[in-house]
Structure 1
Amino acid sequence: MNNQPKISQFPSFDRLATRLRDDFHSGGNDFVLLYAYNGTGKTRLSMEFKSFGKVQNGGAPDTLYFNAYTEDLFVWDNDLQGDSRRVLKINSDSRFFSAIKDLALDESIQTYLGRYTDLDFDIDYINWTVSFRKGEAEHIKISRGEENIFVWCLFMAICERVIDSHPSYEWVKYFYVDDPISSLDDNNAIAVASDLAILLRKAKGKIKAVISSHHALFFNVIVNELKTAKTKRYFLYRTNESEVLTLRATDETPFFHHVAMLSEIRAAADSGKLYTYHFNMLRSILEKTATFFGKKDFSDCLEGVEDEALFSRALNLLSHGKYSLFEPMEMLDDNKKLFRDILSAFLNKHQFDLPALLNENAASTPSTTIGTE
């Protein structure tokens, strides 16, 4: 399938940031979604986007962002002497926290946090620290993943106040969210994506937003949840040897991020690390492929292959509902073999031309052989 959209090239991150802002101003979009591998420079791009706004506004910011820098606003005090009162220290100098003392965010934070963990917390606004509780244990040191999800819940609570037009955050015109799930498992990744999509739909018409991620499952949930909004979708790429960034629009079917996702699914099948949600991802790809060819149903993509009826019924059943998304489990061996058979049949019937940029050492047309454990 060679009907690939045009690739735009940018010599620097600031030029690319300008392009993203143009998508809002000239394109009239509500959201911009970027799918990119780790090491592409997503965090650098988010900071350039933020900096561009300050330059345009005479030094005044216009972007509330969540990225690796946001997580760095919190530092642990592990009470090395007493080894008992461990707290997370907040950098109160950041504008990120400019009004949280007056916003009564604790309840909103706990509402989000309770969806992902069994943690309780207390914020000391005098000393700017956070202490965590679990059951009867107090001042506990939580895991890196739990820490990240707490920071994320705080960010979401602030975003709610922004959308509600709280005067303390009236300067915010954009949200920029970069990979909020770096240390989360797939179960929480999907829950985070769903909650973010709900918030963004509330923000529509008030706040513009850029979302960037390397996580195929997270990105796919966001795309599906925002499909009725005016949204630009891109695949962002940069080689290690070059500073040139390439941007490939994926608004037309088949979405290019689905082609990238297909590459990841094939790698998962080769490695044997297959989970229940991979059936959902494969079905999504088949649906986009069917749309591209003007077919009515995803099963038409398997028309004429051996075991066509079996494969269609199995894919329909095993991707049905949300249970396989919200309760990800490793597939049983029988389902792994079935998944590989369906994927092999699909790739043999539809010879996708995966661009070399997906794998610098790969041939332009990938092998359709699916390895076994």
Structure 2
Amino acid sequence: MSVRPKIHKYKTLRNAVVRLRDDLRDAANGGVDFVLLYAYNGTGKTRLSMEFKDAGKRKKGISRDTLYFNAFTEDLFNWDNDLENDTERTLDINSASKFFAGFRELALEEKIFAYLERYATFNFKINYDTWKIAFSKVVVNPKFRPGSDEPETITQNNIKISRGEENIFIWCIYLAICELVLDGAEAYNWVKYLYIDDPISSLDDNNAIAVGSDLAKLLRRCAGKVKTVISSHHSLFFNVMCNELKKTAHTSYFIFGTHNNGYSLQATTDTPFFHHVAMLSELKKASDTGRLYANHFNVLRGILEKTSSFFGFEAFSSCIHGIEDEILFSRALNLLSHSDYSLFDPKELTEDNKQLFKNILQGFLSRYAFDLPEIHP
């Protein structure tokens, strides 16, 4: 008989932070170096990271102890697109932030580029007088012809990079600062914790794996020096981190939160936790209690889409092929998963549609024997 992982329930995110900081206590007292958190969007990951940061500020005699990467970090940069001339496009730095405490003195370009060249093909230059970053890229010269005097490549200056490229650039800045923390730079000697929230929000799967592997390599150097929390809604990235850090002292949780019922942290043991299994558990609970809303059809459709991709099926309806009333179920999912509904004012399903949902879910679960976690025991 398998033993279910323990579930910790908290009324507020501040209470959950106490749990995380306790997990990261000294190794001599049973603490770990890393905490990995999985939660889908809207749970409160960014708010949790800020609560963790604020907890450090509340310690007596300490002004701060956490170097974080989250949505607020990305807001420290903003574009000046030179709307008047459309030529001098730069990414401006909010130099007032303590995040950039060691930038001017420590000249981070070399460290940043060591990471950036793994993920991107553009270059950059930081102007420390104006706190502006200009980007450039080497491209094929359209005027080049064999035997001509034109060079084969040219450099485009002051280019506008994509949102994904911007995110990866800011991420590389963070990694470079982490290097300074590990090197003992005085400007960052206050850092006792790293808190990293969704560093790959705009990356494809290939880069998500590369970022996860590179981050794990850096974090292994942090062991015994700096404690780290990593949270993500990206299941592939989360699984990569679990696998990369499985031989180190760490804990991992699935975070579940509701609007009025607090938050739950369920330990995921050594096995990477797949969020679609947790979502199925939520659907089963909603089905059993009869509290079903229009958005539940959309969630179920998403799970069937992922399952069909995993098995190589051409359509999600193949997941319920052979089940009685499969044609009705397929049409219902097509129709009801695209119906209008509000996340902020959810409408409860009619009794007929509730029964239809229950039949589809039961048919799917009877065909695929998922071991559903007891998020709400």
TM-score, normalized by length of structure 1? 0.72
Mapped partners of 2:371, 2:122: distance in 1: 46
Mapped partners of 1:345, 1:205: distance in 2: 46
AA matched with 1:197: A
Tell me what 2:305 maps to.
271
Tell me what 2:240 maps to.
221
Q: 1:250 to 1:125 in 2, by over 3 A?
A: same
Structure 1 spans left out of the alignment, 5+ residues: 280-330, 358-363, 365-373
Which secondary structure does the structure 2 equivalent of 1:56 belong to? Answer: coil
AA matched with 2:110: E
Which secondary structure does the structure 2 equivalent of 1:257 belong to? Answer: coil
Tell me what 2:354 maps to.
none
Tell me what 1:40 maps to.
43
Which of 246, 259, 267 is residue 249 of structure 1 equivalent to? 267
* 1:244 Cα offset (Å): 0.2
Mapped partners of 1:6, 1:232: distance in 2: 12
Which of 115, 121, 124 is residue 121 of structure 1 equivalent to? 124
1:201 equivalent to 2:201? Answer: no
Which of 157, 162, 177 is residue 138 of structure 1 equivalent to? 157
1:89-147 deviations in whole A, cap 9, x for unaligned?
00001110001112221011112111111110000011001111111211111111111
Which of 88, 91, 94 is residue 91 of structure 2 equivalent to? 88
Mapped partners of 1:348, 1:274: distance in 2: 13
Which secondary structure does the structure 2 equivalent of 1:5 belong to? Answer: coil
Which secondary structure does the structure 2 equivalent of 1:126 belong to? Answer: coil
1:168 equivalent to 2:187? Answer: yes
Mapped partners of 2:22, 2:375: distance in 1: 29
Tell me what 2:296 maps to.
none
* 1:153 Cα offset (Å): 0.2
Structure 2 spans left out of the alignment, 5+ residues: 139-154, 281-299, 322-362
1:194-215 deviations in whole A, cap 9, x for unaligned?
1110100011110100000010
Q: 2:17 touches 2:48 (CA, 8 Å); kept in 1? A: yes
Which secondary structure does the structure 2 equivalent of 1:51 belong to? Answer: helix
Mapped partners of 2:232, 2:273: distance in 1: 11
1:325-355 deviations in whole A, cap 9, x for unaligned?
xxxxxx7969xx89x9xxx999857442255
AA matched with 2:265: L
Q: 2:276 touches 2:303 (CA, 8 Å); kept in 1? A: no
Q: 1:9 to 1:332 in 2, by over 3 A?
A: closer
Q: 2:278 touches 2:372 (CA, 8 Å); kept in 1? A: no
AA matched with 2:242: V
1:17 equivalent to 2:20? Answer: no
Q: 1:121 touches 1:133 (CA, 8 Å); kept in 2? A: yes
Mapped partners of 1:349, 1:261: distance in 2: 11
Mapped partners of 2:375, 2:8: distance in 1: 16
Q: 1:346 to 1:243 in 2, by over 3 A?
A: closer
Q: 2:104 touches 2:128 (CA, 8 Å); kept in 1? A: yes
* 1:190 Cα offset (Å): 1.1
Q: 1:62 touches 1:173 (CA, 8 Å); kept in 2? A: yes
Mapped partners of 1:245, 1:256: distance in 2: 20
Percent of paired sites with the same residue: 50
1:30-73 deviations in whole A, cap 9, x for unaligned?
00000111001000010110110111143511110000000000
**Greater shift after overlay, 153-162 or 7-16?**
7-16
Tell me what 1:314 maps to.
none
Tell me what 1:300 maps to.
none
* 1:87 Cα offset (Å): 0.4
TM-score, normalized by length of structure 2? 0.71
1:58 equivalent to 2:61? Answer: yes
Mapped partners of 2:104, 2:177: distance in 1: 11
Tell me what 2:211 maps to.
192
* 1:3 Cα offset (Å): 3.9
AA matched with 2:305: S
1:188-337 to 2 correspondences below 5 Å:
188-239=207-258, 241-242=259-260, 244-251=262-269, 255=271, 257-258=273-274, 260=276, 270-271=304-305
Mapped partners of 1:212, 1:351: distance in 2: 25
Q: Which has the larger radius of gyration?
A: 2
Q: 1:97 to 1:243 in 2, by over 3 A?
A: farther
Mapped partners of 2:56, 2:170: distance in 1: 24
